[in-house]
Structure 1
């Protein structure tokens, strides 16, 4: 999928990317809310999926005036509609470019009414990606002796607001909610940042490979997203594993690559980080080339080299909000998967969210 942008928008994109692993900033995001109802024939029963986050759940498509109709939460809603034979309202309350603190404060807390509605059955959130992009850009711009302070602070900030978000949702969501989800981080720009830093490490006196360094930072943040999920009753959707490793055994160890690198309940942080950065590092690739079989690849990242690919059209935004409804694209799912479940990143994430869907509302 190719997206073309105007000169004005191209000028804005770097700013959006930089509003992206710990700075504490206020009102930095751009509101991109959407409500899309999956209208199923012969039923008027309606339930709600509420998703909070940044540009990922927003379905950012390099435009400020529209978003993807089928970002991951709305893809999940289609699966729920089939499972429950019901209409599903997918509500996405998002700010593109916002860091974790802002997602927590201005979306999850300030807009808690959406998850408190009695029709709500699923609450999902994602955050921290913009913190990571911001701090990667800072590191890339360093000269002299490398400082890792912001990167380490970013991981701690992510941990803080992920834990707070889960606690707040647990305390405030409607009592009938059946499923709570967090999506962890994919790592955009792996190939683009496969380069040596201009700054020099204080111990070695040499430059640092930015992708290898950021892989360790992202692994620490992703570990705590999934570990806190385990502790606090959430499901962790492992987008990193789904996007960055093949769906077959590429190294002959008897394990499907995307399964081998997933977070495992009981992992320690050190064990998980070692698995990502060392043990299975050779199987981890840029998500622009997602290998679903030995001979088939799909592009999971848009032309901006940051945001997940999607299909199914867009929702126009008016003053930052868009609404609409339509019949489901698929009314049944053979083997629990749509025909395009692995062809686009948002379809892949939505399917992964749906694998934990409750059998009944």
Structure 2
């Protein structure tokens, strides 16, 4: 077949290669929009979940043309379908590579109509991951005297647009919406960042450990995501705790590690950052090896060391447009509110975390 269409293939190859290179040059900044309906047998009611975000909610898998079918918001939709005995339409309006300002302006604001539909019951969003990744990349490349402003600016931008996003959703989501929530950041590349910088601290003249600098910055972003959620009527799904802490008590303090790391309403920024970056730091583990017991673990991060692992196939999402489809739920009921694979993959874990806030009725 290749020989038969050799001329056509040669004519198209440069264009396809150019598109791929363009996406890479933009840091994989591309729209990856998906609409997937969990079609539950014997039901007539249908409700909507709207999810705004970047590559995480997009289900990015390295492709410019497809994404995970079951990224976290769609996983959550399966839980809702069982809880409400209804069909759930999951609208994912995501832009891989987008920083917080881009998600806010070009997804949440520009595409507000999706959350304004009367069938909408849940609105969720995530952002700031690319602000952190870009700041990390910039800092890693520094020589001479370290400039910490790139990290500080990422934190400031995150705080600004998280607050604005919540205010905008509160003002624009349909009055039928019963749940609004944000998912905070896990720390991709936690082990890889345990190296010294190529720049030197202005005060000491010594290089600095990258993880020592990045961890408090991520913790600060996460604190304000959950704190603003508390202040503004949102819930906060703590992805950091679910990814970075084991599901058993590794340090003998009487708490499951993942539970001990969670944001606690009433925490001050200083108390939360100290708990994450100092007090419980010894319990943090790279999410490539998430321990669900002392002897069993699963890989929550894809080979790019950034994006969550998933199962259940892919859907069209990328340069050639998004996709709209439907299918029966993989699971029709959930024992103790958890699917059989709730902690086996990154997106399954995040989707379960979102589901813990689902209202009992639509």
Tell me, in whole angstroms, the C-alpha distance in 2 between the residues paired with 1:302 and 1:121.
Answer: 31
Distance 1:316 1:161, change over 3 A: same
- CA distance in 1 between partners of 2:325 and 2:186 (Å): 28
- SS for the counterpart of 2:82 is helix
Give the distance between the partners of 2:184 and 2:263, measured in 1 at CA.
Answer: 10
Tell me the residue number matched to 2:215: 215
SS at match of 2:182: strand
Give the Cα separation in 2 of the matches to 1:152 and 1:142.
15
For residues 18 and 353 of structure 2, what CA distance do their matches in structure 1 show?
A: 35
**Partner in structure 2 of residue 53 of structure 1:** 53
Between 1:32-41 and 1:187-196, the stretch displaced more is 187-196
Q: Secondary structure at the match of 2:124?
A: strand
CA RMSD, Structure 1 to Structure 2 (Å):
1.6
CA distance in 1, matches of 2:68, 2:78: 15
- Shift of the alpha carbon at 1:315? 0.5
Deviations 1:301-342 (A, max 9, x none): 001110000100000237331121100000000110000000
Deviation at 1:11? Answer: 6.5
Segments ≥4 residues shifted beyond 2 Å: 6-16, 317-320
- Alignment correspondent of 1:258: 258
CA displacement, residues 196-218 of structure 1 (integer Å, 9 cap, x when unaligned) = 00000111111111112100100
- In the other structure, the counterpart of 1:23 is none
Number of the residue aligned with 1:34: 34
Show the counterpart of 1:22: none
Unaligned runs of 5+ residues in structure 1 are 1-5, 20-28
Deviation string, structure 1 residues 213-268 (Cα, Å, up to 9, x no partner): 10010000000000000000001000000001101000011111011111100000
Structure 1 residues 139 and 37: alpha-carbon distance in aligned structure 2, compared to 1, 3 A threshold: same
Q: Secondary structure at the match of 1:334?
A: coil
The Cα offsets for residues 147-174 of structure 1, whole Å up to 9 and x where unpaired, read as: 0111101101100000000000000000
Distance in 2 (CA, whole Å) between partners of 1:222 and 1:10 is 33
Match in the other structure for 1:346: 347
Matches within 5 A, 1:1-361: 15=25, 18=27, 29-317=29-317, 319-361=320-362
Alpha-carbon distance between aligned partners in 2 of 1:15 and 1:218, rounded to the nearest angstrom: 25
CA distance in 1: counterparts of 2:326 and 2:171, whole angstroms: 31
Deviations 1:56-110 (A, max 9, x none): 0000011011010000000000000001110000000000000000000000000
Contact 1:287–1:300 (CA under 8 A) maintained in structure 2:
yes
2:11 is matched with none
**TM-score, with length taken from structure 1:** 0.93
Q: Secondary structure at the match of 1:198?
A: strand
Q: Secondary structure at the match of 1:231?
A: helix
Relative to the length of structure 2, the TM-score reads 0.93
1:279-314 deviation line (CA, Å, top 9, x unaligned): 000000111000110000000000111000010000
Taking a change above 3 Å as real, the CA distance of residues 233 and 338 of structure 1, as seen in their structure-2 partners, is same
Q: Could you tell me which runs of 5 or more consecutive residues in structure 2 were left unpaired when the two chains were aligned.
A: 1-15
Query: Take 2:119 and 2:20, find their aligned partners in 1: how far apart are those partners?
Result: 40
Distance, in Å, in 1 between the alignment partners of 2:20 and 2:266 is 44
Q: Quote the offset at 1:7 in angstroms.
A: 9.4
In the alignment, the residues of structure 2 paired with residue 69 and residue 193 of structure 1 have an alpha-carbon distance, to the nearest angstrom, of 30
Structure 1: how far apart are the matches of 2:78 and 2:113? 23
CA contact (8 A) 1:189 1:306 kept: yes
Structure with max Cα Rg: 2
Conserved 8 A contact 1:51-1:123: yes
Once the two structures are superposed, residues 101-140 of structure 1 have per-residue CA deviations (whole angstroms, 9 ceiling, x without a partner) of 0000000000000000000000000000000000100000
Measured at CA, do residues 137 and 10 of structure 1 come closer, stay the same or move farther in structure 2, by a change above 3 Å? farther
Q: Describe the shift of the 1:203–1:308 C-alpha distance in structure 2 as closer, same or farther (beyond 3 A).
A: same
**CA 1:201 to 1:128, structure 2 compared with 1: closer, same or farther past 3 Å?**
same
Aligned-pair distance for 1:9?
9.5
